[in-house]
Chain A
């Protein structure tokens, strides 16, 4: 029988097996890490048309979230405030020469809204409703992070389906007293809050886990 393959080819099959194993393992690891919303979406920080600072307004001044995002209690969508909302204060506050405010004044005078860039974007097939989450006593901070510490808002959580479901399967750690919903510094664990003992809660929170709970 003639020799077709030189002796070194004996090493090819084990090397090939080893290489395949390595390729599969590293492929899974790479996809696991780099394809996850934790990697692709968290920290998304688009440049806004003007340098509005949540840190200054919600943090240092201590304004309530609902002053600007005023539909959050009643509507599915938490409204982005209009220029008029800004001007409630800034029309009377004597900062006419402030450079960062130029865009707001321009918008006010030209009657054109400021084109804010959306940070927290869910897919169109997700029917997210702020109102039910508010009514259940889920704090703003659970999904949006410490906005009061952000000079420029960035996405704090992955907003992936697995992340949504983690809370829908066990919501208790994210529930808080109704009076503390917009309090970004409040931590229900530290405060020892138990939703089952809260007399203000009329019924148990049972988030939907079926498909049509969020995809209709």
Chain B
């Protein structure tokens, strides 16, 4: 909840209906220096014992990933539970899970930017970092899943002595392009947005090593008007470039399934359903991490309950979209009268993996319904618990889609079962280690909140500052962020 520095009146005003006048996004100490101090503190102080513990545990988990991958390269993918007919198991579930997680960052930073949703400024840096680290985790799975990792360059269309190209009709190749481009654009966007803040860190640096390190990455930023003009234009262009990617990446990931003819995969609803699911899971992950971070690093006045509530609303919306998609799958299975399709749906709900299906339904459809209630949206504990449930549910969604369709094919003679091995589990746990290690380094060495953008969202930054309720006029005249 809000820090003691925030008065109850101010806190209440912050949560009031935005149509009756927009309250400032931040609470408490809203001075420019106060914001800088609050955001830079985790980077500039001696790491706390909690951070060190978190980092050590994360690195240990990442070590597990390294070891299990090394053994995988030595022995082959036979160490996993995959075999005919379930040739895609946890690794692909994990891939889709992590790609989905990554969607929130670009949605928050690009789409909400274009829609001038200024509340995004408190969480966009954090969400973008999460995006990049999730893409790293996601890309690691197809990489190790190819088996002969030394031939990985075959996935790229490089002229070669074999005189062949990759199969351009395969959605797996589209995936390579979609996810790689998404990762690159997200990274550039993240880095570009960070340049003014890196310059702030450089200017605040006490030691020479820090000055030089942050100085190199700040690219000589001095905050002149010309710098800002170029920066804002580049940011806008990148936002426009990244926006279609939000939709395209998970659409293409869904093609991995939808282009095939397998019942349960071969449906046109997959692209929008996957995109909604991705935003759903991504926001849940941002919420999980943000609830911890704002408490641990004491910037509840920058990431306020209002921010968390907005995220809960997005989760509710996208949760309803995927609930609709789940329902529509069942409806079409009945309405379409295709025996294979209806068997596939019945098998999901009542077959050997029914437990996974019902975990998915409970976590993704039922749990977010609590967000219809304002008190639930404003309760940090409820937000945290539900976001964890959604993370679990969305992982199970990918597991259900991947495994249940594969294990019951058209021909009963080619039916089989799937169960993960120790190495499957190690790869999933290890990827969380990779993710958290990168995250720990991020919160230790980079500004977690976009200071410059948050400052630009303050009432003082508006040309009509001072006029009560003037913010409505300001936004009506289309003044930029």
Contacts and interface: CB of A to CB of B under 8 A. Distances in A.
B212 A162 contact: no
Interface residues of B, number: 12
B161 A4 contact: no
| Most chain B CB neighbours (cut-off 10 Å) among A36, A37, A158, A162 | A162
B211 interface: yes
A160 B212 contact: no
A19 to B, nearest CB: 16
B9 interface: no
Contacts of A24: none
Interface string A152-169: 000000101111111000
A161 B163 CA distance: 6
Contacts of B413: none
Interface residues of A, number: 16
A17 interface: no
B203 A1 contact: yes
Interface string B147-170: 000000000000011111000000
A4 B163 contact: no
B215 A165 contact: no
A5 interface: yes
Most-contacted residue by chain B among A4, A162, A164 (CB, 10 A): A4
A160 B162 contact: yes
B222 interface: yes
A4 B202 contact: yes
A1 B220 CA distance: 12
A5 B215 contact: yes
Given A1-B203, A1-B222, A4-B202, A161 B215 contact: no
Contacts of A1: 203, 222
Interface in A153-212: 158, 160-166
B161 A37 contact: yes
A162 B202 contact: no
A167 B160 CA distance: 16
A16 to B, nearest CB: 11
A10 B162 CA distance: 44
Given A1-B222, A4-B211, A4-B212, A161 B203 contact: no
Nearest to B214: A4
A35 B153 CA distance: 15
Given A1-B203, A1-B222, A4-B202, A161 B161 contact: yes
A53 B389 CA distance: 78
A2 B212 CA distance: 12
Interface of B: 160-164, 202-203, 211-212, 215, 220, 222
Interface of A: 1-2, 4-5, 10, 35-37, 158, 160-166
